[in-house]
Structure formats: structure tokens, C-alpha cells
Amino acid sequence: MWEGAERESFPEWPDPYQKNRLGSSLWYVDKLLRGVEQIIAEPSSKSPFRGYLADVSPEQQAVIERSIGEIRQALVEVLAHHQIPMPEAKVSALHAIRTHLDYVDIAIAELAPRHMKGYGGIEEAAARQLDRIVHQLGALVRRLHRYLGGTLLQD
């Protein structure tokens, strides 16, 4: 597990709260690693809104991915050594996607002229454009939501 170092024995923690904290912290470390994976995957995303410059070389990406694998292997070994069960996924991916689509639908609805008036007066032509944008984008989101078996709050 630990390159270049002798394997030392970890102390046993009889305290279940400390053991729980250890497991929770390791889960959080993995969550942060998933964030790193999302960052390096962004250049292949089709999103028009980029949060990061594509300045990771292919060699760096390979090292990052390999290192993440090594870190995760170490996390698993610590969990196993301390007999901490691997956390199981509890949330349906479809449910999570539908929930995100609910928020997307709300964000789109907030583009309606009545919500934009707080930023100043809206000319009638601009209001019609906003209504069209809300209608068209909302229809696309609702179509996907229905395909996934969900019902939006506004339906």
C-alpha cells in the first residue's frame, strides 16, 4: 500500500464514532477525487460553458488518472483494515437526474419577463423573446424529464 515504507500496523479504534468519522472522511476524499475527474474530463464535454482551461496535457491526465486509482486503492485498504464497510449507493441515478432537471426547469422559468423586471424595465419585444426562450428551453427539458419517467412540478 505505501510505496517505499514498511507497512505499519494501524491502531484499532474501539470508538465507533471515530471509526465512522474515518469512513466519512475517506468517502469525502473520494468525492473530491470525483471532482478532479470531472475537471479533467471537461474538455471532452459538449457544454458551451467551460469552467476550466484545457491546459492538462495527455501525459498529465494519464498521471492524474493513475494517481487517483492508487489513492482509491489505498482508501479501500484502509477501509478493509479497519473493517469499515464500503458505502453502498443509495440514490437512484434516474432520481438524481430528474431532480437536477427540476432545478434546470426552475432556472429556465426564472428567465420569464416577470422575473427579469427586477433588473429594469423590459420592452415588449424583449419580453416576447424571453417568453419564447423559456418556452423552447422548457419544452426540451420537460421532454427529457417525461422520457425518464418523471413529472415536473409545473406539469
Give CA–CA dist 134/42, Å, rounded: 27
pLDDT digits (tens, 9 = 90+) for 87-98: 889 999 999 999
Q: Which three cell numbers stand for residue 119?
A: 433588473
pLDDT digits (tens, 9 = 90+) for 104-148: 999 999 999 999 888 889 999 999 999 999 999 999 999 999 999
Q: Which amino acid is at 80?
A: A
**Taking the CB of residue 102, how many other CB atoms lie within 10 A of it?**
17
Confidence at 4, pLDDT banded by 50, 70, 90: very low
Query: What global pTM score does this model have?
Result: 0.75
Residue 2 · residue 75 · CB < 8 Å: no
